[in-house]
Structure 1
Amino acid sequence: MRLRPAFTMLELIFVIVIMGIIGKFGVEFLAQAYRNFISSTINNTLQANSANAVEFIASRLQYRIKDSIIARTGETTTFTPLADASGETFVVLEWVSSDIDNFRATTTPNWSGIIDLDAGNANLLVSPATNTTDINSTIFALSHGNSGVNDAALYFIGSNQDIDGYGWNGTALADQNGSVMHPIKQGTNANEFVPRNGATNATNSFTGVNVYEYYQLTWTANAVVMENYNAGTKMGDLVFYYDYQPWNGEMFYTAGQNIKKFTIMENVSTFQAMAIGSIVKIQLCTKSDLMIEETYSLCKEKTIF
């Protein structure tokens, strides 16, 4: 009986070469599939997070008092109207928000937005179909017990639009004259607004003030701030502030006032806003450096009327 080898040396070399080629392409295929999976995951995450962040900010800006919007370069009393703000040094977007929660209420609005010009006087204003008791309860709940209707202010639609009249410089509005925001508190009756000093809360007067028939009620300003910016990674956190009253002398960074804040989004590379007339456009850019030797980034933007 003659024995023959299963493979000749040439056949063995051929098999090894073929297996090596298959193995090489198999590993490359798996590596590429893994990279595609990582890229897809990063893209989906950034797309979802950035879209949610932009929608959140836009939904708040939708109910802004349109002429109140400003920008800052940081925790400073210096401010610039958004229409005049340009460049990358502005990291704070700030505005006064109309109290949409009380205006919507449950079945009927808690404040009507109308002043009866014949029923009031310099010491109080009468707003038909307004219930300051219900307003106070809603604000108390939304602020977790930190604010109420006696911290609120009125904005008369059609009145003076001076950007210095909102209290953005950190000084409380002690005088109703010359102010855009008018600090108020509850009157004896539920439909009454009494003027007050924003610094002391003492009653003052609407004497000399042009009172308009239509108003908006507000109890808080809002701020979107870029924080914890890392110059190395060029990323930071976008943080939302609320439950503070500039007309009472408060700033978004005022200590000891129980001002609320939460992070809207992490790993934000840039956040910019611009205003053309009463229209605001925001842009948010985010990125991820999870992929080796590669950076994945995208931007979302939205226009708010």
Structure 2
Amino acid sequence: MKKAFTLIELLFVIVVLSILSLIGTDIYLNVYKNYAYSKSINALETKASNAVEQIATRLSYRIPQTTIAREAIGGDMQFIDLGDDRHKILEWYGISVESQNIHRNKGVDKGSWIIAGWSGFIDINRSGVFRSIGSKLERAGKIIDDLYSPVPDGKNNLAIIFIGGEHAISPEDYGYTGDKTKVNHKVVAVVDLSGQRDFNVKNFSSGATITERYYLSHTAYAIVPGKKDATTGLFDIYLYYNYRPWLGETYLQGKHELLIENATQFKFRGNNGNIEFELCVQDLNMPKKAKKDKFIICKKEAVF
């Protein structure tokens, strides 16, 4: 007959099981902690990448010479290559790519073809008329109206800037001060889309240089950091759009959308027409035991 376990044997087994349990629990907690960290970091990476991609995409369709670095409304502003750490806001005229190339369906299962809403070329031999060669301005105007809906007549009061035309001396020439009387209409022509090929020129200085190629803009854009949180020092970043500096409008009169929350840094610089920028963001939703750790993701991008 087998003897019963002694008290010492039972205690020994209990101690061994306790040790194994502690080791197993520690392993489980570490696995869970690493999983939670990875999940939070991946989510933060995705948010930062999406914000950087949105900024870079918009910047890739900028009118290069219109890009400025500025302080808040009423503060100092400089062309992008002359900006410094005081200038936290990045602003530019956008090329109206949405209305430039228009897809038209041929029919069911027949694909589509592209027509030029506006071609970017002017017939400079036609005196007194801005005739855009190969354009369908009426269709371009409808697209711009849709972008500005419910505001009527979005297709009117657009900006034309001629490639190789008059050079701006300061950002004021583009209307960034919010004072339309300071817009240099040798640099920016204000036009309506009044026909299929002809622009209705509303404001362009006599004697200004007209070249064969042009950019059309229906809105400016601004990347604007919000106010820093007094406790964390973090801030949100916004994209402003649907406003027209050439009419004396500032970004505060446009629409805006949130690009990303809890940014720690947004800085940029211009370099011979190229733009480099960096965005850093912090995750405030880490697991409780990881709150003491600051997880910050930084993304850099160059736009040519």
Tell me the TM-score range normalised by the shorter chain. Answer: 0.7 to 0.9
Report the residue type matching 1:128 in the other structure: I
Q: Tell me which stretches of 4 or more aligned residues in structure 1 moved more than 6 Å.
A: none
Distance 1:7 1:105 in 2: 87
Distance 1:217 1:233 in 2: 42
Residue 102 (structure 2) pairs with residue 105 (structure 1): yes
Which whole-Å deviations, capped at 9, do the CAs of 1:133-155 have from their partners, x for residues lacking one?
A: 21221101112232522120100
Consecutive unaligned residues in structure 2, runs of 5 or more: 104-113
Correspondent of 2:274 among 250, 254, 279: 279
Matched positions, count: 287
Residue 200 (structure 2) pairs with residue 194 (structure 1): yes
In percent, how many aligned pairs have the same letter? 28
Report the residue type matching 1:181 in the other structure: V
Residue 155 (structure 2) pairs with residue 156 (structure 1): no
Residue 215 of structure 1: how far off its partner (Å) = 0.5
Residue 226 of structure 1: how far off its partner (Å) = 1.2
Matched with 1:232 is 231
Distance 1:42 1:90 in 2: 31
Report the residue type matching 2:144 in the other structure: I
- What secondary structure, in the 3-state scheme, does the structure 1 residue paired with 2:124 have? coil
Residue 260 (structure 2) pairs with residue 265 (structure 1): yes
Which whole-Å deviations, capped at 9, do the CAs of 1:62-102 have from their partners, x for residues lacking one?
A: 01011111122224353222212222x43311110011111
Cα distance change on mapping 1:3 and 1:18 into 2, 3 Å: closer
Which whole-Å deviations, capped at 9, do the CAs of 1:180-234 have from their partners, x for residues lacking one?
A: 22111244x432223324xxxxxxx541211111101001000111114314223
- What secondary structure, in the 3-state scheme, does the structure 2 residue paired with 1:229 have? coil
Distance 2:115 2:232 in 1: 50
Residue 35 of structure 1: how far off its partner (Å) = 0.9
Cα distance change on mapping 1:99 and 1:138 into 2, 3 Å: same
Distance 2:2 2:121 in 1: 108
Distance 1:42 1:175 in 2: 47
Matched with 1:165 is 173
Residue 160 of structure 1: how far off its partner (Å) = 2.6
Matched with 1:245 is 244
Cα distance change on mapping 1:175 and 1:253 into 2, 3 Å: closer
* Aligned Cα root-mean-square deviation (Å): 2.0
Which whole-Å deviations, capped at 9, do the CAs of 1:260-294 have from their partners, x for residues lacking one?
A: 21111122221111110111112111111322211
Residue 39 of structure 1: how far off its partner (Å) = 0.8
Residue 212 (structure 2) pairs with residue 217 (structure 1): no
Residue 167 of structure 1: how far off its partner (Å) = 0.7
The answer to which of 74-83 and 26-35 deviates more is: 74-83
Distance 2:197 2:184 in 1: 20
Report the residue type matching 1:103 in the other structure: Q
Report matched runs for 1:1-305 at 5 Å.
Answer: 4=3, 6-76=4-74, 78-87=76-85, 89-106=86-103, 107-121=114-128, 124-146=129-151, 148-162=154-168, 163-173=171-181, 177=185, 179-187=186-194, 189-197=195-203, 205-254=204-253, 259-289=254-284, 290=286, 291-305=290-304
Matched with 2:107 is none
The answer to which of 35-44 and 141-150 deviates more is: 141-150
Q: Is the 8 A contact 1:155 1:216 kept in 2?
A: yes
Residue 176 of structure 1: how far off its partner (Å) = 5.7
